[in-house]
Amino acid sequence: MDFAGSPRTEQLKDAMARVAGAVSVVTVGSGAERTGLTVTSMTSVSLNPPALLFCINRLSSALPALRRCGCFAVNVLTARHKRLADQFAGRMGHDGPGRYIGAEWRILATGAPILADALVAFDCEVDETIARHSHEIVVGRIRATSEPKGGSPLIYWERGYEDIFLSRPAIADSERLAHAFEF
């Protein structure tokens, strides 16, 4: 069924707005070639091999850079990263390397920029891209993860950001996983 351009388009947008998603920043490239985008479409694919996926609009300025470099990082944001989420979504007028302003970045296995204080970050190589409609599904092979940080995840719901307060302390998990992993 085609929703594009019909009154049903708004109904579908309203329905999808009811689905909460963790907010992540996907980073690609290096130096003057750095760029990225904000996504809520990241999910795990498998543990063996370790893989995840996210969806990217074919019109995104980050897609050509992703194709060129073949690696990326998914940085899961915390409630304190609302400004960074907006910056990578293009809402603050920044593009390319300008999206990285105001945050500390580091490198793990692939060379993709990792947000130093992300809730957790996944350093990936592009395993496969699958074209579907207006988007591409990017499957990434996880090569390393960052050290998990404390805090609560930033959630996008009802067209806005929500701060989810964790009812159980994240400290136990952080202590158990207090180092970076490579796969």
Binning pLDDT at 50, 70 and 90, where does residue 168 land? very low
Which residues pair with residue 139 across a beta bridge?
53, 128
Distance CA 125, CA 111 (A): 10
176 part of a folded domain: yes
List all residues 6 or more positions away from 132 whose beta carbon is below 8 Å from its beta carbon.
Answer: none
Q: What total number of domains does the chain contain? A: 1
What mean pLDDT, rounded, does the chain reach? 89
Give the lowest-confidence range in 12-26, 136-150, 151-165.
151-165
96 part of a folded domain: yes
List all residues 6 or more positions away from 4 whose beta carbon is below 8 Å from its beta carbon.
Answer: none
Binning pLDDT at 50, 70 and 90, where does residue 172 land? very low
User: What pLDDT does 65 receive?
Assistant: 96
- CATH number of 36's domain: 2.30.110.10
At residue 113, does pLDDT exceed 80? yes
Where is mean pLDDT largest: 66-70, 150-154, 156-160? 66-70
Binning pLDDT at 50, 70 and 90, where does residue 146 land? very high
15 part of a folded domain: no
- Mapped onto helix, strand or coil, the DSSP state of residue 94 is coil
Binning pLDDT at 50, 70 and 90, where does residue 163 land? confident
2 part of a folded domain: no
Distance CA 57, CA 43 (A): 16
152 part of a folded domain: yes
User: To the nearest whole percent, how much of the chain has pLDDT over 70?
Assistant: 86
